[in-house]
Amino acid sequence: MAYHIKLEAFEGPLDLLFHLIEKHEIDLYDIPITQITEQYIQYLKGMEALDLEITSEFLVMAATLLEIKSKMLLPIEVNESHQMELEALDPRYVLVQKLLEYKKYKLAAESFKERENALNYLYFKPREEFVFETEETPVVLEGLGLSDLLKALEKALAGKKLSPTGKETLRQMQRETFTIEDKIQDLLQRLSLEPTLKFNHIFDDLSCRNEIITAFLALLELIRLKEITVKQERCFTDILVEKKINY
């Protein structure tokens, strides 16, 4: 009958020891050194059976475990007149301290890894440089102010549906890029076909908040350039966007 050995990859001897301790639910402060040494050496024998190279670090740790095991078998002479060091009282002390420190860094590394995996599903808007005109050009809006346009934009954003649960979820997606220049051309093209547009209709076919905001910025830029006019005849009536006719 064939005998199969399956070995996991470990980054070093401390990683292997920590795995054995966790696997058998061993108390770090009371390690059964005989049991852990036998399991450790058994792992090295498995590596030899598979013709895998055993690095010197694993062999040094095996020798250390055997040394600790031999010290545990010897009686400890207690000198009542002198306080003995912890290492002399328990040969496992130094090994336990190394394992505790390794555990601390291992848990920290796992925490950082989880955060990295979560952030892999997020993307951030790259930094953009905005160039402002040195001379301020007054923007004239007929029958309404900039605050009215912002309120209308809020209504357009509120009209876009969120996820069914209403909660923010992480999902993998392709990055979509919207530019103010493209939206300016889109808006001018629509106004060439339909000279007067209702403000809220500008955002009807837009797919997401980023695209809506980009289209709104394009609208403000066209107002600044005096390419279009935005007006509202009376309160609570539709805001109208018209292409300005230059005579």
pLDDT at 84 over 60: no
CATH number for position 166 = 1.10.10.580
Strand order in the sheet with 228-231: 196-198, 240-243, 228-231
Task: Examine the domain organization and report whether 66 and 151 are in the same domain.
Answer: no
Return the pLDDT at 154.
77
Q: CB of 91 within 8 A of CB of 72?
A: yes
Residue-range definition of the domain harbouring residue 154: 146-243
Task: Examine the domain organization and report whether 179 and 215 are in the same domain.
Answer: yes
Return the pLDDT at 151.
76
Q: How many domains does the chain have?
A: 2
Q: CB of 231 within 8 A of CB of 143?
A: yes
Task: Examine the domain organization and report whether 190 and 114 are in the same domain.
Answer: no
Quick: pLDDT tens for 97-139.
999 998 898 888 888 888 888 878 777 667 766 555 555 545 5
pLDDT at 223 over 80: yes
Does 5 fall in a domain?
A: no
Return the pLDDT at 164.
42
Task: Examine the domain organization and report whether 163 and 97 are in the same domain.
Answer: no
- Global pTM reads 0.42
pLDDT at 74 over 70: yes
Task: Examine the domain organization and report whether 115 and 37 are in the same domain.
Answer: yes
Does 135 fall in a domain?
A: no
Does 174 fall in a domain?
A: yes
- Long-range pairs for 65-70 at CB < 8 Å and ≥24 separation? 65/33, 65/36, 65/37, 65/40, 65/41, 65/95, 66/37, 67/91, 68/33, 68/37, 68/92, 68/95, 69/33, 69/34, 69/37
Does 190 fall in a domain?
A: yes
Does 237 fall in a domain?
A: yes
Residue closest to 221 by CA, chosen among 182, 177, 247, 176: 182
Confidence of residue 218 (pLDDT cuts 50, 70, 90): confident
Residue partners of 217: CB distance under 8 A and separation at least 6: 180, 183
Task: Examine the domain organization and report whether 230 and 169 are in the same domain.
Answer: yes
Return the pLDDT at 167.
46
